[in-house]
Chains A and B, each alone.
Chain A
Amino acid sequence: MANKFDISIRAEQEYAVLETEGYLNDALGEQLSQKAQDLIEKGYTQLVINLANTALINSIGISILIEIIEALDEREGTLNFCGLSATQERTFRMMAIAKYAGIFPDEKTAVADFQ
């Protein structure tokens, strides 16, 4: 079954936004993790992951998001999520992700949190 997915990156001076499109499973998760790691290695410690165009996430995809939180934590960085659906936010809170990463309604508020 074809699962079309894509990741776009907007890197600003102080932060970068990764925007996913498609089903966040192990395949998209691994790509996202690699792109986040590349940004962290370039010195970015403030990242936003915008999930507005990702309608479905599985638990493997979420486990990869936790790895990104942990990688940023090692650099004393911050990861903020935005664009989550009701069920995504509920699941993230259940998995304690909201304790270690920010959850914001949209990209503007997620970025403003870094100021």
Chain B
Amino acid sequence: MTNTLSKEQVLLTIPMLPDMELAAANLASFIAESMSFNDVQIEEIQYAMIESCINAFEHSRSSDQNVIIEYIMRSDELEFKITDQGVGFSPENRPVRQNGQQDLYPEMRKRGWGLEIIHALMDRVDIRSGENGTTISMVKKKTNGGS
């Protein structure tokens, strides 16, 4: 499932199946730990990775039902590119999970948090989406303290 492309790059393909986001998050954790990211940063990377994968699982409507994750290691940062070959979406028009339930408190809404969580936990996020799919690129910079 994992192909090492070069010393600095790892590629993982996961099927859109329940809990497969954990495989992507665990590999991200392993790589970040090997690069001496601190525990808080590793946890933030895991959470962002989980949300990126879930976003693809739920909203891409990809015909091949796979998500490709590129892990790019640099001296001072770690970049992740999460790609699906789905129908794409506009980042301004974020996909919102619909379960038919009303929110009692609008500020504590139950759906549509994935991208906000990713933006909050990573240092840089870029979303490129079109009719051939979506790539979320997210970068975590290495720091001595927390995030």
Interface residues in chain A, defined as those with a beta carbon under 8 Å from any beta carbon in chain B: 1-3, 23, 25, 27, 56-60, 62-63, 66-67, 69-70, 73, 85-87, 90-91, 94-97, 99-100
A63 to B21, CA, bound (A): 18
B30 within 8 A of A: no
Which of A58, A59, A90 gathers most chain B CB within 10 Å? Answer: A59
Binding site for A on B (CB under 8 A): 17-23, 25, 40, 43-44, 46-47, 50-51, 54, 97, 99, 101, 103-105, 107-108, 110-111, 113-114, 116-117, 120-121, 146
Residue of A1, A23, A27, A99 touching B108 (CB-CB under 8 A): A99
Write out the residue numbers on chain A whose beta carbons fall within 8 Å of the beta carbon of B17. Answer: 1
Main secondary structure on chain B at its contact with chain A?
Answer: helix
Could you say which residues of chain A place their CB within 8 Å of the CB of B50? 56, 58
Chain A residues contacting B19 (CB-CB under 8 Å) are 1-3, 23, 25
Interface of A is mostly: helix
A58 proximity list for chain B (CB < 8 A):
21, 50-51, 54
B101, closest chain A residue (CB): A67
Complex A-B, nearest 3 residue pairs according to Cβ-Cβ distance, in ascending order = A63-B110, A96-B108, A87-B43
B101 to chain A, nearest CB (A): 7
Set of chain B residues within 8 Å of A66, measured between Cβ atoms: 103, 108, 110
